[in-house]
Amino acid sequence: MTSREFDFIVFGTGYTGSILARHLAKQGLNYKWTIAGRNREKCKNLVRELTEISNKTFKAKPILANVEKPETIQEMCKKTNVIINCVGPFSKFGEVVIKACIENKTHYCDINGEPQFINKIFVKYHDKAIENNVIITLSAGFDSVPADLGVQLIKKQIGAGKVLKIGGFFEFSQIQMSNGTYRTLINSYNPSKQERKETREMRELAKEKDLPKIEYLDTKINKKPKGYTTKVSTISKNKEGMGGFVMKFSVADPTIVKKTQLLQDATQKIPSFRYEHYLMVRGWFAILLTFLKFFFIRLLANWAWGKKVLRLFESDIGGPSENDKKNAVFVATFVGTDQEGKKIKYSLSGPDGYTSTAIFIKHTCFSLLEDYDDLDMKCGVITPGCLGQVYFDRILNDKTFEWKNAEEKKKK
C-alpha cells in the first residue's frame, strides 16, 4: 500500500456510517483512520463520541468532504489507502467518489444495495479500475455479503461448472430500515427520468464492450431434477424442508451474485447456475403483512404526493433504535442443487442488518489493507465474492455469526 496519511477513511456520518465508526472505535485498531462528512458540527460530535468510546485512542481530526464539491472528494481520496463509502443514495452521490478513488489510486468499498448503480459502475469503470490497479468493491454490507458468500461455499463444495441452481432464503425476526435504506427502496420503485436514461445508456455501452455472457448450465442438459424451476412465484410454500412461505425478494443480492458469476464463470467460460432469491416468512398473518407493506410502498412511490406520505413513516432517529437492533436477528439459508438433483445446504445466522453491515465492511477493508497479495482479484470493479478465500475466512472465523452445513455442524 502507498504511504498516506490514513489507512482508511469512513465517509458518511449518517445512521449506518455512525454505526460503523462506533464499531471500529471499540476495536482498539492499530490503523490510522478517521471519518469524513459534509457537516462540520456533526463530524465534531461524532469524533467526540468516538474518542470516548475508544478510551481516547481515537485522536484523528475529521475531514470535511461533500459530494457536491468534487474537489473536496479528490482531496479526501488523496489522503488515504481505502475509502469506505456510506453516503447514499449511491445512484445520486456514489459515482463522484468512485471516480475520485480510481483517479487517485485509492481502493474503495461501499454498502450500496442499488442494482442500477451496481450495473452502471461495473460497465463504466471496470476497465478504468483495472488500468489504475484499483479495487472498487461494491455492496460489501448486509445482505449482499451473505448471499455472495453462501453461493461461493456451495459452489466450492459441488464444484465450479457443476452447480445447477442455488436458492437463497432470508428470514428476519423483524424488518426495519434506516431512513437512507427506506428512501433508496422508494426511489427504486420509481427511478427518475435521468436514471432510466442512464440505464439505457449502460445497456448500449455494455453491448459495445462485448462483455462475456453467463452460460447457464441448465441450458445444456436434457433432463432436469425433479422439482427444478427457475421461476419465482409471487408467494409460494417453501419446498426445501424449512417450512414457511417464500416470496420474491427484490434487492441487490441477485445482481451482486450475477456480477460474481460474470467475473468468475463467464470470464473463464465455465457453465454457471441460476440464482433465486427469496424472503421467507412464517404464518399467513406475517406473509399478508409483509406483502401489504411492500405493495403500498411500491404503489405510493409512483406519485410525488405518495412519496411525501411515505416519508412520514421515517424514523426520528434515522433508523432502528438500539433496543430494536438487540432484538433483531437474521437467518440466511442457501440450497444448492447439482445436475443429479443432490442438494447441499448452508445457513448463516447473525445480528441485525446494520450491525452485520459494520462487521462485513470492516473485514472487507481489512482484506484490502492486509491481504491484498492473496486476493483472487487485485483490481477492477468487483464483488465481495471475488475477494477470495482470505476474505471468506475472515467472515467464517468471526464468532458474531454462526455457519452450519446440512448436518448442522458448526463452521468456524
Distance of alpha carbon 163 from alpha carbon 225, whole angstroms = 12
- Give mean pLDDT, residues 158-169: 92
Structural domain boundaries enclosing 382: 6-142+358-390
Its pTM stands at: 0.91
Residue 35 is predicted with a pLDDT of 98
- Condensed to tens digits (0 to 9), the pLDDT of residues 239-291 reads 676 777 888 776 789 999 999 999 999 999 999 999 989 888 887 787 788 87
Query: Are both 255 and 132 inside the same structural domain?
Result: no
Residue 183 is predicted with a pLDDT of 82
64 domain residue, yes or no: yes
Query: Are both 231 and 310 inside the same structural domain?
Result: yes
The DSSP call for residue 263 is I
User: Residue written as cell 488523496?
Assistant: 78
Query: Are both 111 and 233 inside the same structural domain?
Result: no
What mean pLDDT value characterizes the chain?
88
Query: Are both 237 and 278 inside the same structural domain?
Result: yes
Kindly report the CATH number assigned to the domain that includes residue 58. Answer: 3.40.50.720
- At 228, the pLDDT band (50, 70, 90 cuts) reads low
Residue 231 is predicted with a pLDDT of 55
397 domain residue, yes or no: no
- Torsion, CA 190, CA 254, CA 334, CA 341, rounded to 10: 120
175 domain residue, yes or no: yes
Query: Are both 148 and 123 inside the same structural domain?
Result: no
Query: Are both 72 and 118 inside the same structural domain?
Result: yes
- At 227, the pLDDT band (50, 70, 90 cuts) reads low
Query: Are both 124 and 227 inside the same structural domain?
Result: no
Distance of alpha carbon 64 from alpha carbon 68, whole angstroms = 12
Query: Are both 385 and 331 inside the same structural domain?
Result: no
- At 164, the pLDDT band (50, 70, 90 cuts) reads very high
User: Residue written as cell 409483509?
Assistant: 290
- Give mean pLDDT, residues 58-67: 95
Q: How are strands ordered across the β-sheet holding 245-248?
A: 235-237, 245-248, 274-281, 163-172, 329-338, 343-351, 402-405
Residue 135 is predicted with a pLDDT of 98
Helices (H) and strands (E) in the chain, counts: 15, 14
- At 387, the pLDDT band (50, 70, 90 cuts) reads very high
Query: Are both 53 and 72 inside the same structural domain?
Result: yes
Distance of alpha carbon 228 from alpha carbon 224, whole angstroms = 6
- At 133, the pLDDT band (50, 70, 90 cuts) reads very high
Query: Are both 119 and 95 inside the same structural domain?
Result: yes
